[in-house]
Amino acid sequence: MNWDKLFTKQYQLDQYIIQNHQLENDDLFEERFLALLVELGELANETRCFKYWSEKAPSPKSVILEEYVDNIHFLLSLGLEKGFQFSEIDTPVVVDDVTATEQFNHVFQKGLAFYTKPTEMAYIALFQAYLQLASILGFSVADIFEAYDEKNEVNYERQDQGY
């Protein structure tokens, strides 16, 4: 699938937020990166994959997908801020024995590598690791695109309501 559409929509949302909050001269990398980590933690919490001490089931798949897509917003924003954008991206095949917990840790590792050295190669590696997580969680790229569009509308509504 072509990611240009999502980068364009994210650019428009970012500009809307920046203008509404008078942030035209602010560097938002630190805030966006922390938001990425927080949202990644929220996603992990909804999957409950790391909660070996609990028998409670994960949240419904729709809730997990919505949390997953929250991070797509921040990944796109980070790429736009650093001038990294792609139309297509290769997603390496997930090894069958990789658990969701291991992949979450891998995404955190790639995220910290990008934070430490925000290169295009590090950004692509982070994005690929995150897409691998989608596969482990049972989401397709088509699922991601559809959920992104839905959440993007919600994000505009939230801005208009003073969220």
CATH of the domain at 124: 1.10.4010.10
Whether 133 and 104 have beta carbons less than 8 Å apart is answered as yes
The pTM (predicted TM-score) of the whole model is 0.94
User: What are the Cα distances from residue 60, in Å, to 57, 124, 151?
Assistant: 9, 29, 17
Whether 147 and 137 have beta carbons less than 8 Å apart is answered as no
Q: Give me the number of domains the chain comprises.
A: 1
Q: Alpha-carbon distance 135 to 130, whole Å?
A: 9
- Tens of pLDDT, residue by residue, the chain (163 residues): 899 999 999 999 999 999 989 999 999 999 999 999 999 999 999 999 999 999 999 999 999 999 999 999 999 999 999 999 999 998 777 778 999 999 999 999 999 999 999 999 999 999 999 999 999 999 999 999 999 999 988 888 888 887 7
Domain that holds residue 113: 4-160
For CA atoms 147, 151, 152, 153, the dihedral sign is positive
